[in-house]
């Protein structure tokens, strides 16, 4: 029977001698023969077959413990059960990766859309119908009531699996005209599956606010000036749609909020 030195096995499988010795110490992969005089390890053809199998399982993302458990399986039923468990783990990871890829793709699209706009300037657009899940902020709609409303909304988002839905805030037309840009009337998320309100804006004037939230009044000022200069008429409440992306656009840098005000030309 031909025997192979540990250095030959290590070179063939592109693994280190230390790894093979470690496999021996944890009783995962033992040599066919150890020379008692010099401690040299020797392997046979059966060892090569076993190591190839172990290598395949490692490439399939099996941990060393899982490989040992699989080797210990006494029958096909145990083997199938363990493999099914591993398969489900892999499917779960694939699902997580797919969700991550979709999230990143959405962020890329958002940044591209924002980058296509000239700085932080107003623009006209036609919005599609918007279905939202919203709650009203209690009077007097101060910071205290807003924080309470955000807490309530977050609980509802968890309940209805809406954590990834885009966040919105809505300001009443009268408050906008009185320059009360932090008097939030309603908060919510864009969600057609469990919506409790429908918004039909049609023609709007929008702007991407790419600065700190505290400076959002500056963007509203630009919107109102644009509306006034073009003799447009404000038809209703504004909607602020929040993005998780941070954009640097020259002098404008911060969380990105798209503000839209419905108008009549």
Element (H, E) at 7: helix 6-13
- Residue 254 pLDDT: 54
CA distance linking residue 212 with residue 176, whole number of Å: 19
Residues 6+ apart with CB under 8 A from 31: 6, 24, 41, 42, 43, 47
| Domain limit, last residue, from 72, 101, 132 | 72
- Residue 130 pLDDT: 83
The answer to whether the CB of 146 falls within 8 A of the CB of 155 is no
The answer to whether the CB of 204 falls within 8 A of the CB of 262 is yes
Residue 245 counted as domain residue: yes
Number of domains in the chain: 2
Q: Are residues 122 and 249 in the same domain?
A: yes
SS3 125: strand
Residue 17 counted as domain residue: yes
Q: Are residues 169 and 232 in the same domain?
A: yes
Angle at 86 between CA 81 and CA 87, to 5 degrees: 95
Residue 153 counted as domain residue: yes
- Residue 119 pLDDT: 58
The CATH number that applies at residue 32 is 1.10.1660.10
- Residue 25 pLDDT: 94
Q: Which domain holds residue 20?
A: 4-72
The answer to whether the CB of 256 falls within 8 A of the CB of 110 is yes
- Residue 214 pLDDT: 86
The CB density around residue 223, as the number of other CB atoms within 10 Å, is: 24
Q: Are residues 55 and 122 in the same domain?
A: no
Residue 90 counted as domain residue: no
Could you tell me which residues are beta bridge partners of residue 134?
Answer: 188
Q: Tell me the backbone φ, ψ of residue 15, rounded to 5 degrees.
A: -130, 160
Q: Are residues 122 and 185 in the same domain?
A: yes
- Residue 193 pLDDT: 80
Q: Are residues 138 and 238 in the same domain?
A: yes
Q: Are residues 165 and 247 in the same domain?
A: yes
The answer to whether the CB of 186 falls within 8 A of the CB of 170 is yes
pLDDT by residue (tens digit) across 44-68? 999 999 999 999 999 998 999 999 9
Token look-up 């309100």 returns 197
Nearest to 222 by CA among 111, 123, 133, 138: 123
- Residue 252 pLDDT: 47
Residue 107 counted as domain residue: no
Those residues of the chain that have pLDDT short of 50 are 249, 251-253
Residue 37 counted as domain residue: yes
| Domain limit, last residue, from 19, 39, 72 | 72
CA distance linking residue 172 with residue 165, whole number of Å: 22
């Amino acid at each position: 029977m031909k025997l192979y030195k540990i250095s030959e096995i290590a070179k063939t499988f592109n693994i280190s001698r230390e790894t093979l010795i470690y496999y021996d110490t944890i009783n995962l992969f033992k040599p066919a023969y150890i020379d008692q005089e010099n401690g040299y390890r020797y392997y046979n053809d059966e060892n090569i077959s076993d190591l190839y199998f172990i290598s395949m399982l490692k490439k399939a993302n099996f941990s060393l413990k899982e490989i040992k458990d699989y080797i210990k399986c006494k029958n096909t039923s145990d083997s199938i059960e363990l493999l099914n468990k591993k398969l489900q783990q892999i499917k779960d990871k694939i699902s997580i990766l797919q969700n991550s890829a979709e999230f990143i793709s959405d962020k890329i699209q958002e940044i591209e859309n924002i980058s296509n706009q000239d700085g932080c300037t107003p623009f006209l657009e036609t919005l599609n119908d918007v279905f939202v899940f919203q709650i009203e902020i209690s009077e007097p709609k101060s910071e205290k009531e807003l924080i309470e409303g955000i807490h309530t909304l977050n609980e509802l988002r968890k309940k209805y699996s809406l954590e990834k839905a885009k966040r919105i805030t809505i300001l009443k037309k009268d408050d906008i005209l009185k320059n009360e840009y932090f008097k939030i009337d309603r908060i919510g998320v864009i969600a057609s599956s469990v919506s409790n309100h429908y918004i039909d804006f049609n023609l709007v004037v929008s702007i991407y606010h790419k600065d700190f939230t505290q400076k959002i009044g500056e963007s509203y000022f630009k919107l109102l000036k644009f509306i006034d200069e073009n003799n447009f008429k404000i038809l209703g409440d504004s909607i602020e749609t929040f993005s998780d992306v941070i954009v640097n656009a020259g002098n404008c840098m911060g969380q990105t909020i798209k503000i839209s005000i419905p108008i009549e030309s």
